[in-house]
């Protein structure tokens, strides 16, 4: 029977003494006199499977030189208890087929630790490393747990468009989508590029967020979520920014900021609990080799209630800290990572939800509070990352929204459908966006977000 290594390790009792077939790639070969040990890995687990190949097997001497690091094999043999201390089981091979040869000397992955910078240059091979393989398994579990969480709460999954004509965040960080000839675009009489001749007969872009479209479905199906790629042409060369990243965006009708906070907190707890249960080996690996204390941090999130603080209180708190900030603190500033991380890592030592930000620093769609100065926004900050979730209660009042669009320098006509939702059956509603790769980074403890997505896109880099 063809089996994954994960299955053999999880339920050895089911397969012990039986013939199994396992396919995978050679991680290393230890060549003894009367037998060889092959460390075979198929990516389903961190630790591979030990394959025992006895020297008295027919064809041994022809096979041995082909067993090189990186080669792909199909191994048939009996699953037995291993006498070695490092592993519980091994396969006593009857037959080994070399499916794809590899030349150990030129193979870019050697049996040593390579730098993550180097691994990014060989993104076609890096998932074969322990770390990036573990990141892939964690990501898969987090995505599954995300769908599970929302589906079990009755949220509908909506696919919102990737190509859009509106700038949700109003920050102008859009990638343009066009089929016009960039060298010789058609021009209007005034000499401007004539987008009426473009594919969509108007300017079009890659979306920065699925929120506005998700709101449409929330105003019909009550609770919905979208989980898809988003794009930002911001020139941020940091360890927490990508130009292409995935976002989980729930949107709830008949809901307030309070409901939004409850949802965000429950969501993070659920997905973290899920990986703690299902990716134990990977998390132990990250805890030991990548980010000591990781497991404790994750357990902390599962077991602590998040601190809730208003932006204004956070500013007072930060102003009273005896420290020279790179970005000076005063009411009205957009909080920087140094401030966010101080609050969650040093002051509260747990996740923090900051609410009620000044309206000037937040997007036009956020609901204006009674004080006329702040909006019903929330940012969830976690240790080691800073902002992981950004959300808000949405402005459901037509006149207030119209004014906010105007003040943001946007055009009412571009948002006509968004405004019309406030015309018929408007209601309080709220939602948030969670950056998927930031979640991966938080749960793995990986230093750089570029190692938390299979193929990172950042300024100047769209390899692979
Ligand atoms: O705070 P943001 O910009 O919020 C929105 O886009 C809202 N429309 C979401 C909503 O309410 N439906 O982005 C949400 C999250 C951030 O908290 C962060 O985790 C992640 O998306 N994010 C990024 N992740 C990686 N690279 C980037 N450049 C990111 N920008 C935002
Ligand atoms: Mg934000």
321 with 379, same domain? yes
Cβ proximity of 386 and 344 under 8 Å: yes
Which residues surround the ion ligand 2 when the cut-off is CB under 5 Å?
A: 390
390 lines ligand 1 (CB under 6 A): yes
Q: With CA atoms as reference, report the closest residue to 212 among 164, 168, 165, 256.
A: 168
Classify strands 89-100 and 307-310 as parallel, antiparallel or unpaired: unpaired
- Considering only CA atoms, which residue is closest to atom 1 of ligand 1? 390
Are 440 and 139 in contact, with CB atoms under 8 Å apart?
yes
Q: 329 — phi, psi (to 5°)? A: -100, 130
Q: Indicate whether residue 386 lines ligand 1 (CB < 6 A).
A: no
Instruction: Identify which of 354, 359, 353, 377 has the alpha carbon closest to the alpha carbon of residue 305.
Output: 353
Q: Which domain range does residue 318 map to?
A: 128-173+208-451
Asked whether residue 197 is assigned to any structural domain, the reply reads no
At residue 214, the pLDDT reads 98
Q: Are residues 165 and 80 in the same domain?
A: no
Pairing outcome for strands 89-100 and 49-54: parallel
Mean pLDDT of 358-379: 97
What is the rounded CA–CA span in Å between residue 273 and residue 254? 28
Same domain flag for 311 and 360: yes
Tell me, using a 6 A CB cutoff, whether residue 435 lines ligand 1: yes
In degrees, rounded to 5, the angle at the alpha carbon of residue 463 between the alpha carbons of residues 460 and 464 is 160
Q: Is the pLDDT of residue 171 over 90?
A: no
Q: For position 351, what pLDDT does the model report?
A: 96
Q: Is the pLDDT of residue 388 over 90?
A: yes
Least-confidence region, from 1-5, 114-118, 344-348, 366-370: 1-5
Sequence-distant (6+) residues with CB within 8 A of 332 are 358, 360, 361
The residue with tokens 């591979």 is 48
Q: What is the mean pLDDT of the chain?
A: 96
Q: Could you tell me the pLDDT band of residue 169, with boundaries at 50, 70 and 90?
A: confident
On whether the CB atoms of residues 52 and 91 are closer than 8 A, the answer is: yes
Q: In sequence order, what are the beta bridge partners of 156?
A: 224
Q: How many CB atoms are closer than 10 A to CB 187?
A: 11
Q: Is residue 272 very low, low, confident or very high in pLDDT (cuts 50, 70, 90)?
A: very high
The verdict on residue 459 lying in a domain is no
In a domain, 431, yes or no: yes
Residue to probe by mutation, ligand 1, list 247, 253, 388, most atoms within 8 Å of CB: 247
Tens digits of per-residue pLDDT, 208-243?
Answer: 999 999 999 999 999 999 999 999 998 889 999 999
The number of domains in the chain is 2
Pick the residue whose CA is nearest to atom 25 on ligand 1: 241
- Fill in the DSSP letter of residue 320: T
Q: Whose CA is nearest to atom 19 of ligand 1?
A: 435
On whether both 149 and 41 belong to a single domain, the answer is no
| pLDDT tens per residue, range 312-340 | 999 999 999 999 999 999 999 999 999 99
**Best residue for ligand 1 mutational test, from 213, 434, 438 (most atoms within 8 Å of Cβ):** 438
The verdict on residue 190 lying in a domain is no
Q: Pairing state of beta strands 223-231 and 156-157?
A: parallel
Share of the chain above pLDDT 70, in %: 100
Confidence of residue 1 (pLDDT cuts 50, 70, 90): confident
Nearest atom within ligand 1 for CA of residue 389: 17
In a domain, 189, yes or no: no
Which ligand number lies closest to the CA of residue 335?
2
Same domain, 96 and 212: no
Sorting pLDDT into bands at 50, 70 and 90, what band is 412?
very high
Residues 146 and 101 both lie in one domain: no
- Work out the pLDDT band at 245, boundaries 50, 70, 90: very high
The confidence score (pLDDT) of residue 112 equals 84
Q: Classify strands 204-206 and 163-164 as parallel, antiparallel or unpaired.
A: antiparallel
In our burial notation (b when 16+ CB lie closer than 10 A, e otherwise), range 257-268 reads bebbbebbbebb
Is pLDDT of 355 > 80? Answer: yes
Whether 185 is in a domain gets the answer: no
- Alpha carbon 427 to its chain centroid, in Å, reads 31
pLDDT at res. 170:
74
Radius of gyration of the chain (CA): 27
Calpha distance 277→294 (Å, rounded): 15
Ligand 1 pocket test, candidate residues 390, 393, 394, most atoms within 8 A of CB: 390
Q: Which ligand is nearest to the CA of 237?
A: 1
Residues in the chain, how many? 464
Mutate to test the pocket of ligand 1, among 245, 263, 456 (most ligand atoms within 8 A of CB): 245
Q: Are 103 and 137 within one domain?
A: no
Q: How far is CA 372 from CA 194, 216, 357, 398, 414, in A?
A: 41, 26, 11, 16, 25
CA of 334 to the centre of ligand 2 (A): 10
The domain boundary, picked from 52, 76, 107, lies at: 107
What is the rounded CA–CA span in Å between residue 341 and residue 406?
A: 34
CB of residue 388 inside a 6 A radius of ligand 1: yes
Co-location of 62 and 164 in the same domain: no
Least distant ligand from the CA of 366: 1
> Looking at residue 24, which CATH number applies to its domain?
2.40.50.140
CATH code at 167?
3.30.930.10
Task: Say if residue 226 is exposed, middle or buried (CB neighbours under 10 Å; 0-12, 13-18, 19+).
Answer: buried
Kindly state whether residues 287 and 366 are assigned to the same domain. yes
Smallest CA-to-CA distance from 131 within 279, 289, 296, 25 is with 289
Does the CB atom of residue 224 touch ligand 1 within 6 A?
no
Task: Return left, alpha or beta for 98; rule: phi > 0 is left, psi -120 to 50 is alpha, else beta.
Answer: beta
- Residue 101, SS3 per DSSP: coil
**Is 361's pLDDT higher than 80?**
yes
Q: Are residues 12 and 152 in the same domain?
A: no
Q: Determine, yes or no, domain membership for 143.
A: yes
Q: For residue 387, which atom of ligand 1 is closest to its CA?
A: 17
Q: Are residues 340 and 371 in the same domain?
A: yes
Ligand nearest to the CA of 452: 1
Q: Measure the CA–CA gap between 451 and 139, rounded to whole angstroms.
A: 11
Q: Average the pLDDT over 49-67 and give the result.
A: 95
Element housing 294 (H / E): helix 294-303
Question: What is the b/e burial string over 78-94, where b = at least 16 CB atoms within 10 angstroms of the residue's CB?
Answer: bbeebeeeeeebbbebe
Is residue 17 in some structural domain? Answer: yes
Residue 396 — pLDDT band, cuts 50, 70, 90? Answer: very high
In a shared domain, residues 397 and 437:
yes
């Amino acid at each position: 029977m063809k089996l994954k290594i994960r299955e053999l390790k999880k339920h050895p009792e089911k397969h012990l003494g039986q013939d199994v077939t396992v396919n995978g790639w050679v991680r290393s070969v230890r060549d003894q006199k009367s037998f060889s040990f092959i460390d075979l890995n198929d990516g389903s687990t961190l630790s591979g499977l030990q394959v025992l190949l006895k020297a008295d097997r027919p064809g041994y001497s022809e096979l041995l030189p082909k067993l090189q690091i990186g080669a792909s094999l199909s191994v048939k043999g009996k699953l037995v208890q291993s006498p070695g201390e490092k592993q519980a089981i091994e396969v006593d091979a009857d037959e080994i087929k070399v499916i794809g040869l590899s030349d150990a000397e030129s193979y870019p992955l050697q049996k040593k630790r390579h730098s993550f910078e180097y691994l990014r240059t060989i993104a076609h091979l890096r998932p074969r490393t322990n770390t990036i393989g573990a990141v892939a398994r964690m990501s898969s579990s987090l995505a599954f747990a995300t769908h599970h969480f929302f589906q079990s709460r009755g949220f509908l999954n909506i696919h919102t468009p990737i190509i859009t004509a509106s700038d949700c965040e109003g920050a102008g960080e859009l990638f343009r989508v066009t089929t016009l000839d960039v060298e010789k675009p058609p021009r209007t009489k005034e000499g401007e590029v004539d987008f009426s001749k473009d594919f969509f007969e108007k300017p079009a872009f890659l979306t920065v967020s699925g929120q506005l479209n998700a709101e449409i479905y929330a105003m019909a199906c009550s609770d919905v979520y979208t989980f898809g790629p988003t794009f930002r042409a911001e020139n941020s060369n940091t360890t927490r920014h990508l130009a292409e990243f995935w976002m989980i965006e729930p949107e709830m009708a008949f809901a307030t900021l309070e409901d939004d906070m409850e949802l965000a907190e429950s969501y993070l707890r659920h997905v973290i609990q899920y990986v703690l249960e299902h990716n134990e080996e990977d998390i132990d690996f990250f805890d030991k080799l990548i980010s000591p204390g990781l497991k404790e941090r994750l357990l902390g999130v599962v077991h602590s209630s998040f601190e809730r603080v208003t932006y204004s209180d956070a500013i007072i708190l930060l102003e009273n800290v005896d420290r020279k900030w790179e970005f000076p603190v005063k009411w009205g500033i957009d909080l920087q990572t140094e401030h966010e991380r101080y609050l969650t890592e040093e002051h509260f030592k747990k996740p923090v939800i900051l609410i009620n930000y000044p309206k000037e620093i937040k997007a036009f769609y956020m609901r204006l509070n009674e004080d006329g100065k702040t909006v019903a926004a929330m940012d969830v900050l976690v240790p080691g990352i800073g902002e992981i979730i950004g959300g808000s209660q949405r402005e459901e009042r037509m006149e207030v929204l119209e004014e906010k669009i105007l003040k943001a320098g946007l055009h009412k006509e571009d948002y006509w459908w968004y405004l019309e939702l406030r015309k018929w059956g408007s209601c309080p509603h709220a939602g948030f966006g969670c950056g998927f790769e930031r979640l991966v980074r938080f749960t793995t403890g990986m230093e750089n977000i570029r190692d938390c997505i299979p193929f990172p896109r950042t300024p100047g880099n769209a390899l692979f």
